[in-house]
Structure 1
Amino acid sequence: MQQTLEDAPAATSDHGGKLRTTMAAMRLSFTWFGTRKSLSSEQKALAANTFHAEGKYISAGKKLIDTGDASFRAVTSVRTQATAYFKGATLPFPEPGIRLVPQASVDQIDGRMQGFRDELAEAVAALDTRFDELKYEARDRLGDLYCESDYPDTLQGLFEIGWEFPSVEPPDYLRRLNPELYEQECNRVKSRFDEAVQLAEAAFIDELNKMVEHLAERLTGNDDGKPKVFRDSAIENFAEFFDRFQRLNIRSNEELDQVVDRARHVIDGVAPQSLRDSESLRKRITGQLAAVQSSLDGLMVDRPRRNILRRTK
């Protein structure tokens, strides 16, 4: 059975230290063919003349291919899915591009990324077979702005997905070369993981808050005198959140744990169609969600998350 963070030993209240010993850093990256290109100086000058403007004071670009084509959307869909999976399986970390993954899940996540890489290769191969046709269509649409040199001979190798597990710990050689600097780096890393705990709490709070707000608005709002229609996902998303919270939560905030449990009890066993059919059920769930919302509001006021989030942008 796969070990979750809540199953890990919790003999210490040092939640940042717990993250540090149970998580691994991970970075996801993409190589992506650019579908837009700036106009040349001559082309911008011609465009500027249309508006009686100076070329250096305008900015203009062109779209190389139709990104709405089904074959191109299939390629971007893989990137969207890989990114969503990466974010859903990891916790935030206060360094650009890096998130934290449970060490026990590294093999599973690596295997899933390999699957996304294979899916991307297949989608790019299909897009490549359409590339000449897409260029032909672009020639008609761009007119004099079309330039054959803007396009590669093939799209193979121009769309790639990559991931790595970089070390965020101070290098051991620094201990020998400069013990004082090594100690400074250890303190910096400790501070990073302490911030990561707060970032994780803030992310869970914000996500749950948005779902509760959305469902409550769907249940109480009116559209032309009738209750607003909501999709099954308004309920299903809660189940996905509860599962992720259980896998990634390090039990650093007892109040947050209690609010999530309360929300779970509100949603458990509630079928979307039952909410559509029963006004009394909608009223009951709405009242219970209001209590959850009130608790979340208190957590959002108490957590110093704004400064932390600002530093990670």
Structure 2
Amino acid sequence: MPTIREESASRLRQEFAATRVGLTWLGVRKSLTSEQKARAADGFDAEVRFLSATKKLLDTQHPRFRAVTALKGRIVGYWKGLTLPYPEPGLRLIRQSVIPEFDGQLRTFQSELQQQVTLLDDHYAELRRTARDRLGQLFSEADYPVSLKDEFEITWDFPSVEPPGYLLQLNPRLYQQECQRMQARFDEAVQLTEQMFFDELSKLVSHLTERLTGREDGKAKVFRDSAIENLLEFFGRFRTLSVHSSAELDQLVERAKDVLSGVQPQDLRDSAARRQQVASQMAAVQATLEGLLIDRPRRSIVRPGTARSGHADRD
């Protein structure tokens, strides 16, 4: 009879698909040439081989550049918020039922990126002039593309992680080996998912408890709505993405939800008694979480011969 985790891995394999998001992004730092590093080393009476130096090509604090950078953060945040980890660099797992929504949102991001880069390109000459002034003799026209319009791009796809069907005809034994390898990957994905949810819940509960009980200069710490809103968002993601591989985790999420049921942030500001009640209940959840996290060995999956590619998954 299969275990709960084996059932969860099977459900994960049946209901989810692999997805990959790639981001092409203009590099804004460039290493100094050997001659430039030698000149810099002379200035500090240092050996060149012990010196590492780069130059910043563009002002990334320019409002238009910051707008493009902020969009990158939104893209990665959306992708990771809608998916689960998978033990292959650059890949994550997404529910098959939300793929159309995901594809539509990525197309929206793609269009927005094009618009933001066009606006940035309108200021490109200004940014280069500023760089020329600030870099002095380190400035080189060769470091800069003619336009920025082709320097930023988002791509996404849904690569298959299942053994190819033709392998069954060519080599049944090898096909079975590949099936076992894929099943092991999904077993790992279940464990990675559990760890992700445990860690995230622990962090959010700890933060809320600290804000409710901590004091600064003899006064209660500032309590922001986001301390509760982030937990409510977590509950929604857990409901959508969890494959329920851990009864302990399910119970803790339900306990935390019950504590916050009907609680408004302003309630905790207006009522010291309500604040203390929620803080006490959340502290109990946190204590249980900490105990479970201590008992759960953290997995470190390292695969020889694999390297990070230019994908958005940069944990």
Q: Normalising by the residue count of structure 2, what TM-score does the alignment of the two structures yield?
A: 0.92
Task: Check whether the contact 2:41–2:47 (CA below 8 A) recurs between aligned residues.
Answer: yes
2:309 is aligned to none
Shift of the alpha carbon at 1:257? 1.0
1:81 is aligned to 74
Higher RCO structure (Cα 8 Å, ≥6 apart) = 2
Confirm or deny that 1:129 pairs with 2:122: yes
1:179 is aligned to 172
Confirm or deny that 1:192 pairs with 2:195: no
Listed as ranges, the gaps of 5+ residues in structure 2 are 307-314
Confirm or deny that 1:92 pairs with 2:85: yes
Supply the distance in 2 between the matched residues of 1:290 and 1:156 (Cα, whole angstroms).
51
Aligned length: 302
Task: Check whether the contact 2:268–2:275 (CA below 8 A) recurs between aligned residues.
Answer: yes
Supply the distance in 2 between the matched residues of 1:133 and 1:284 (Cα, whole angstroms).
57
Listed as ranges, the gaps of 5+ residues in structure 1 are 1-10
1:32 is aligned to 25
Amino acid at match of 1:122: Q
1:7 is aligned to none
1:232 is aligned to 225
Task: Check whether the contact 1:36–1:64 (CA below 8 A) recurs between aligned residues.
Answer: yes
Shift of the alpha carbon at 1:309? 5.5
Amino acid at match of 1:241: F
Supply the distance in 2 between the matched residues of 1:309 and 1:285 (Cα, whole angstroms).
37
Task: Check whether the contact 2:86–2:186 (CA below 8 A) recurs between aligned residues.
Answer: yes
- SS for the counterpart of 2:243 is coil
1:142 is aligned to 135
Confirm or deny that 1:157 pairs with 2:150: yes
Task: Check whether the contact 1:195–1:308 (CA below 8 A) recurs between aligned residues.
Answer: no
Task: Check whether the contact 2:26–2:151 (CA below 8 A) recurs between aligned residues.
Answer: yes
1:23 is aligned to 16
Supply the distance in 1 between the matched residues of 2:5 and 2:65 (Cα, whole angstroms).
50
Confirm or deny that 1:307 pairs with 2:299: yes
Supply the distance in 1 between the matched residues of 2:119 and 2:230 (Cα, whole angstroms).
32
| Among candidates 180, 186, 208, match of residue 201 of structure 2 | 208
1:170 is aligned to 163
**TM-superposition CA deviations, 1:18-65 (whole Å, max 9, x none):** 100000000111001100000111111111110112323211110001
Q: Normalising by the residue count of structure 1, what TM-score does the alignment of the two structures yield?
A: 0.93
Amino acid at match of 1:112: Q
Amino acid at match of 1:102: R
**TM-superposition CA deviations, 1:165-198 (whole Å, max 9, x none):** 0011111122122211111111010011111111
Amino acid at match of 1:295: T
Task: Check whether the contact 1:199–1:308 (CA below 8 A) recurs between aligned residues.
Answer: no
Q: Which moved more, 1:41-50 or 1:52-61?
A: 52-61
| Among candidates 273, 277, 281, match of residue 266 of structure 2 | 273
Write out aligned runs for 1:222-301 (5 A).
222-301=215-294
Shift of the alpha carbon at 1:152? 0.7
Supply the distance in 1 between the matched residues of 2:277 and 2:301 (Cα, whole angstroms).
35
Runs of 4+ in 1 over 6 A off after TM superposition: 310-313
